[in-house]
């Protein structure tokens, strides 16, 4: 059957169940078999067997699931060689590409390094891409956006895409398409383009700014699946974001069917119990950290029973999303939630969206709509006096400076307690702080970590726990805690 013919097929429940049985039996053709990572700064060294077709990677927030996916994506980045960018060292992804190399006798090799075979790879961070699309739409004036769209080609219509979207969202869309548009002033690590999505339902045609987050997230995921070449590796970071439990189950049906039809290896990092209970045991993996602050991680196969679901961080969906400016702010806020709001922390997702302007744009657009998930932008403390950075849907991290400076202030003012907790000689701690202060503010906590051997995550945890002891931080901390609690009180 041709690929075009497959696009017209709507799977029956019997066909879907057959797909899950094939996953359970291992009778699925897909390229990825094993992954070995040696000496990763966050994951340490690990070796893991990937399941044929679909691998579901579960684990608590912060265990390293996203780090794992990004490392695999970087290793299989086909543009790395052309651009002169090095792939991460000491990573091996072994498997069976569709077009295997042959030895001198003409026999096909059983397994080989997928990067050497140039196996295509697609990585999708659902939440980040959704927020990026909304930010791009809000940044470009409406008339300019229409002009850019008028000169850009729309993707050819796909019956598979429209049928899959209608199945997952349970509404009959008349049209579902997208366009690739040039990005204005892309950052160094950003792509040169972004995607504008358009839907038509009951005679109404609308774009991302009018879509529900569930619709937009589903479009992002389906575009990725549609673009994935046969025999490729597809990496999804929490594709269940913003979907109802029922929609999540239907989405997984679509992903499984596509993986089997196109012989894909799909690795999904997820907190979704729907995924875990719907997939066969053979597809399940758990990523866990070693005890005692050891940076090493392990990935192990096995059943994920309901009674340990909470321990593994598998929750239906977050009740609130807190938007922050960058990764360091995200780490600080996640630790603040864990320490000061342990009752709410399991129900909150912290998302970094690259920049204060993006935080303001998305929080202002989504906060007032009161969707199924509450939104609050949490800006760095150095923006609290800026008039354009005020609003009902905005809050601030403690302090009146960047989050790195806030951490450094705590490490300095509470030096005696830090020396006791970390077991670092007082003279060494003092010298590390003095040498770090001459660095760029964003590099200072990392410099202290490097000079003392204390992991940066432990420094952030110490600062968060001791923030109430500093008058300059106490009021800001209490205000932020109150704002987060208000999100839940209003629901």
Beta bridge partners of 122: 234
Q: Where are the domains of the chain?
A: 3-120+228-308, 131-218, 320-489
pLDDT tens profile 437-477: 999 999 999 999 999 999 898 999 999 999 999 999 999 99
Task: Output the pLDDT for position 264.
Answer: 96
Task: Output the pLDDT for position 292.
Answer: 55
The answer to whether the beta carbons of residues 361 and 394 sit under 8 Å apart is no
Between strands 320-324 and 374-379, the pairing is parallel
Does pLDDT of 100 surpass 80? no
How far apart, in whole angstroms, are the C-alpha atoms of residue 418 and residue 423?
Answer: 8
Task: Output the pLDDT for position 43.
Answer: 82
Token representation of residue 187: 């950052």
Q: Is the domain defined by 3-120+228-308 classed in CATH 3.40.50.300? A: yes
Task: Indicate the length of the chain as a whole number.
Answer: 491
Secondary structure class of 225 (helix, strand, coil): helix
Task: Output the pLDDT for position 474.
Answer: 93
Q: Which of 402, 412, 392 is nearest to 462 (CA)?
A: 412
Secondary structure class of 462 (helix, strand, coil): helix
Phi and psi, residue 480, nearest 5°: -65, -40
DSSP annotation string for 133-188: HHHHHHHS-HHHHHHHHHHSPBPPP-HHHHHHHHHHHTS--SEEEEEEEEPSS--T
The answer to whether the beta carbons of residues 262 and 251 sit under 8 Å apart is no
- 178 Cβ partners below 8 Å, 6+ apart? 154, 155, 195, 196, 197, 198, 219, 223
Token representation of residue 339: 């320490």
Mean pLDDT in residue range 367-371: 65
Task: Output the pLDDT for position 489.
Answer: 75
What mean pLDDT, rounded, does the chain reach?
86
Mean pLDDT in residue range 404-408: 95
Does pLDDT of 323 surpass 70? yes
Task: Output the pLDDT for position 301.
Answer: 84
In this prediction the pTM is 0.76
pLDDT tens profile 280-295: 888 999 888 766 555 6
Burial class of 428 by CB neighbour count within 10 A (0 to 12, 13 to 18, 19+):
middle
Split at pLDDT 50, 70, 90, the class of 343 is: confident
Distance of CA 446 to the CA centre of its chain: 23
pLDDT tens profile 127-167: 999 999 998 998 888 899 999 999 999 999 999 999 999 99
Token representation of residue 440: 């760029």
Token representation of residue 374: 């509450």
pLDDT tens profile 421-437: 999 999 999 999 999 99
Does pLDDT of 307 surpass 70? no
For the chain, what percent of residues have pLDDT higher than 90? 57
Task: Output the pLDDT for position 313.
Answer: 57
How far apart, in whole angstroms, are the C-alpha atoms of residue 407 and residue 442?
Answer: 11
Does pLDDT of 325 surpass 90? yes
Phi and psi, residue 183, nearest 5°: -85, 135
Secondary structure class of 198 (helix, strand, coil): strand
Neighbours of 142 (CB within 10 A): 9
The answer to whether the beta carbons of residues 46 and 287 sit under 8 Å apart is no
Measured over the CA atoms of residue 17, residue 20, residue 24 and residue 28, the dihedral's sign is positive
| Higher pLDDT among residues 276 and 237, named by residue | 237
How far lies 44's CA from each of 36, 49, 154, in Å? Answer: 11, 17, 44
Q: Which of 284, 256, 249 is nearest to 30 (CA)?
A: 256
Between strands 91-95 and 175-182, the pairing is unpaired
Burial class of 429 by CB neighbour count within 10 A (0 to 12, 13 to 18, 19+):
buried
Does pLDDT of 388 surpass 70? yes
């Amino acid at each position: 059957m041709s690929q075009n013919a497959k696009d017209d097929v709507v799977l029956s429940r019997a066909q879907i169940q057959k797909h899950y049985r094939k996953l359970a039996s291992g009778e699925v053709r897909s390229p990825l078999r094993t992954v070995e990572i040696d000496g990763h700064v966050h994951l340490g060294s690990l070796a893991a067997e990937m399941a044929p077709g679909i691998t579901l990677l579960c684990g608590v927030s912060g265990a390293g699931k996203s780090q794992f996916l990004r490392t695999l994506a970087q290793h299989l980045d086909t543009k790395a060689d052309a651009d002169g960018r090095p792939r991460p060292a000491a990573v091996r992804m072994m498997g069976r590409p569709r077009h295997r190399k042959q030895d001198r006798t003409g026999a096909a090799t059983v397994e080989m390094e997928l990067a050497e075979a140039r196996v295509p790879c697609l990585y999708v961070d659902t939440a980040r891409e959704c927020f990026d699309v909304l930010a791009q739409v809000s940044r470009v004036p409406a008339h300019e956006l229409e002009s850019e769209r008028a000169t850009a080609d729309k993707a050819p219509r796909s019956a598979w895409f429209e049928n899959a979207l209608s199945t997952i969202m349970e509404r009959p869309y008349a049209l579902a398409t997208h366009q690739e548009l040039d990005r204005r002033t892309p950052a160094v690590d950003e792509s040169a383009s972004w995607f504008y999505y358009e839907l038509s339902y009951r005679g109404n045609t609308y774009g991302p700014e009018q879509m529900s987050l569930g619709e937009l997230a589903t479009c992002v995921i389906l575009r990725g699946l549609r673009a994935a070449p046969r025999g490729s590796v597809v990496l999804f970071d929490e594709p269940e974001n913003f979907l109802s439990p029922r929609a999540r189950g239907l989405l997984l049906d679509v992903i499984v069917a596509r993986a089997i039809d196109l012989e894909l290896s799909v690795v999904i990092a997820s907190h979704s119990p729907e995924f875990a209970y719907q997939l066969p045991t053979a597809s399940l993996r758990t990523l866990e950290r070693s005890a005692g602050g050891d940076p090493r991680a392990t990935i192990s196969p096995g059943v994920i029973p309901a009674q340990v679901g909470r321990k593994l961080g598998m929750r239906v969906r977050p009740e609130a999303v807190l938007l922050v400016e960058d990764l360091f702010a995200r780490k600080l806020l996640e630790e603040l939630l864990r320490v000061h709001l342990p009752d709410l922390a399991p129900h909150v997702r912290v998302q970094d969206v690259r920049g204060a302007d993006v935080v303001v744009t998305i929080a202002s657009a989504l906060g007032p709509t009161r969707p199924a998930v509450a939104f609050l932008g949490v800006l760095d403390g150095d923006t609290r006096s800026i008039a354009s950075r005020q609003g009902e849907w905005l809050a601030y991290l403690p302090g009146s400076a960047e989050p790195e400076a806030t951490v450094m202030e705590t490490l300095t003012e509470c030096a005696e307690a830090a020396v006791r907790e970390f077991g670092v000689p007082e003279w060494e701690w003092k010298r590390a702080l003095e040498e770090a202060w001459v660095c760029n503010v964003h590099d200072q906590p990392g410099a202290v970590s490097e000079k003392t051997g204390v992991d940066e995550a432990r420094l952030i945890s110490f600062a968060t726990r001791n923030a109430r002891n500093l008058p300059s931080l106490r009021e800001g901390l209490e205000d932020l805690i109150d704002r987060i609690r208000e999100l839940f009180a209003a629901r």
